[in-house]
Structure 1
Amino acid sequence: MKFKAIHIFIVLTLVLASCQAKTKSKNQAVSTQESLKTDSMDIEIFKSLQQFITRASFDALSNDKLIVETGKLFLQTPYVGGTLENNEVERLVINLHQLDCTTYIENILALSKITNQSKLSINDFAKELEFIRYRNGKLKGYGSRLHYFTDWIFDNERKGLLIDITKKIGGEAYQKKINFMSSHINSYPKLVGNISLIETVTQCENEINKREHFYIPENKIQEIENQIEDGDLIAITTKIKGLDISHTGIAIHINDRLHLMHASSKAKKVVISEIPLAEMIQKNSLQSGIMVARLIRKQ
């Protein structure tokens, strides 16, 4: 599989170069439906992924291997934040050539799900991406997007996609008031001057604050890392006031230690961490621990 990941990276690099040469504007939109926004570069990347996944028989892989191998297909993809924020009206954005830590995970899960279902069309991918990204699986404006990752985990567990296993593997109570968006309105252009949307976000925060949350403190991650499986979703908790999660990624073990495959703002691309996750978090003064979610096994 290592050779395959390298091969698809070369294919995607060639696709990127070709599309950049051919596309007059990288922001040119090509919509398959009114609420979908993508461009010709991403359509070509999707086609390459589609062909490779089919040839490599990804549908025969177990869930954990499918998530990891799909995640590896995006190694070296540039990190770009805020790619979902560029539309006046909320649309389903498909951007496969620029990823942040959340869109990286969402694209992996959507690709893995349609691979399991043997439905590898761009429309199938769009449907799964919408299902994962938005509350109750439906895009109904900016307020329906799952902005807080604890809410993202809760909603996708309710949808039957995953299970939050943090408490089961030794998690402790994560008691924190979540209100970062409503207390930093000027950091979110869509909220500025929009009383109705602010009320929607505040209501969402109130719902989050009613729930029980658990986390593995940073000094206990190494003790339990053998209970975390390759392909599990990792959400890194933060010490930033009002915020629940500051970073996300995919669990991957290297030499019997837990590492993180993630879209890194520091490396400015998708990478596998050079050091174990426990050490990585302890080196960051703003990170406090992790939450862990596991994908539901395919039947």
Structure 2
Amino acid sequence: MKLTAQTAPLMSSHLAAGCASGPGKYRTIMDSVTAEKVSRIIRSDVIPYSGEKHTDIIHRVSSAFPGTPYLADSLTGGPDTPEALVANFNGVDCFTLIDYVEALARSHDEKSFLHHLVQVRYVEGNVDYLSRRHFFSDWFATTPHNARDVTPDISPDCTVADKHLNRKTDGGEYIPGLGTHPRTLNYIPGKAISPQMLGQLQSGDYVGVYSPLAGLDVSHVGIVIHYDGQIWFRNASSLDANRSVVDSPFLEYMRAKPGIVVLRAE
């Protein structure tokens, strides 16, 4: 889940579409640097490989992001602020990273990227703060579906947890006005993550770090990457030692965590 309200606006815009009033109308904010990167990534890493598996394209597209600075609160919108569609490759957090990668992997030009970003980031493609997919499991539990939950297929040690997403232990809400969402989550406990289990993960799978806290599904997300004979966790790290998108050794990173949730976009 995105624990921050993500309401800080970007300072410049490449284009503005629609207006801030009326159903289906919204602003689009994207600077020229991001627009150039969108076009370049699609030309070099998506279009030439249109016949490949979607997860392979995710792997290739995500390779443009390591070294990108970590930036929280990059989205525009909140309970009292009109939502805007923001595309900002100058800095990402763990959730905006996977939003951008998935949207890019589906696209053939800048216009289609913005269309797919709406579909990836918002339930029913409704650009509104309360329609954001604030939880990782929204990717498979809400429509249009971004991915399917393959966690039970990855390990026989898969465990089930019944959650009431967005409800704090004191009865309050993490996202005011969003309500409570009962959801059954599959996760693989950290102690069950083994080299054998890793063999079931595909490069390009999306992985969330399971959160045992009430009202939350995961605490962090990233992408499975295979290279140099190893499996890596590509993620936007907020750690002081990183503050950027990095590749962390998957097994080393996850073993001490409560567990993982694995989604696959196809």
Interval of TM-score (by shorter of Structure 1 and Structure 2): 0.7 to 0.9
Higher helix share: 1
How big is the alpha-carbon RMSD for the aligned residues of Structure 1 and Structure 2? Answer: 2.6
Paired with 1:50 and 1:165, the residues of 2 have a C-alpha distance of 27
The Cα of 1:143 is off from its aligned counterpart by 0.7
Q: Gaps (5+ residues) in structure 2?
A: 1-9, 19-25
The structure in which a higher percent of residues are strand is 2
Match of 1:132 in 2: 120
Match of 1:43 in 2: 35
Q: Which residue of 2 aligns with 1:271?
A: 246
- Measure how far apart 1:145 and its partner are: 0.6
Q: Which residue of the other structure, out of 259, 272, 291, is the alignment partner of 2:232?
A: 259
1:68 aligns with 2:59: yes
Counterpart for residue 150 of structure 1: 137
Instruction: Return the alpha-carbon distance in structure 1 between the equivalents of residues 51 and 231 of structure 2.
Output: 25
Query: CA offsets per residue over residues 226-251 of structure 1, 9 Å max, x none?
Result: 11111111111123332111111111
The letter for the 2-side match of 1:248 is: V
Q: Take 1:216 and 1:137, find their aligned partners in 2: how far apart are those partners?
A: 30
Q: Deviation string for 1:75-104 (max 9, x for gaps)?
A: 111111111146721111111111111111
- The amino acid of 1:147's aligned partner reads H
User: What TM-score, normalized by structure 2, do the two folds share?
Assistant: 0.81
Change in Cα spacing, 1:39 to 1:250, as seen in structure 2 (3 Å) is: same
Structure 1 contact 225–257 (Cα < 8 Å) conserved = no
Does the 8 Å contact 2:58/2:105 carry over to 1?
yes
Aligned equivalents of 2:89, 2:38: Cα separation in 1: 8
Structure 2 SS opposite 1:249: strand
Q: Which of 186, 192, 199 lines up with 1:214 in the alignment?
A: 186
Which residue of structure 2 aligns with residue 293 of structure 1? 263
Structure-1-length-normalised TM-score: 0.73
Q: Which runs of 4+ in 1 moved over 6 A?
A: 184-187
CA distance in 2, matches of 1:41, 1:183: 43
Q: Per the alignment, in what secondary structure is the counterpart of residue 57 of structure 2?
A: helix
| Alignment CA distance shift 1:181-1:110 (3 Å) | farther
What per-residue deviation string (whole Å, max 9, x for no partner) do you get for residues 120-176 of structure 1?
A: 1x221111000011112222x211111111123322xx5354221112223211233
Q: Residue 199 of structure 2 aligns to a residue in which SS?
A: helix
Give me the identity figure in percent. Answer: 26
**Residue 256 of structure 1: how far off its partner (Å):** 4.8
Q: What does 1:36-185 align with in structure 2 at a 5 Å threshold? A: 36-53=28-45, 57-85=48-76, 88-114=81-107, 119-120=108-109, 122-139=110-127, 141-155=128-142, 158-170=143-155, 171-180=158-167
What is the alpha-carbon distance in structure 2 between the residues aligned to residue 268 and residue 133 of structure 1?
23
How far 1:37 sits from its partner (Å)?
1.5
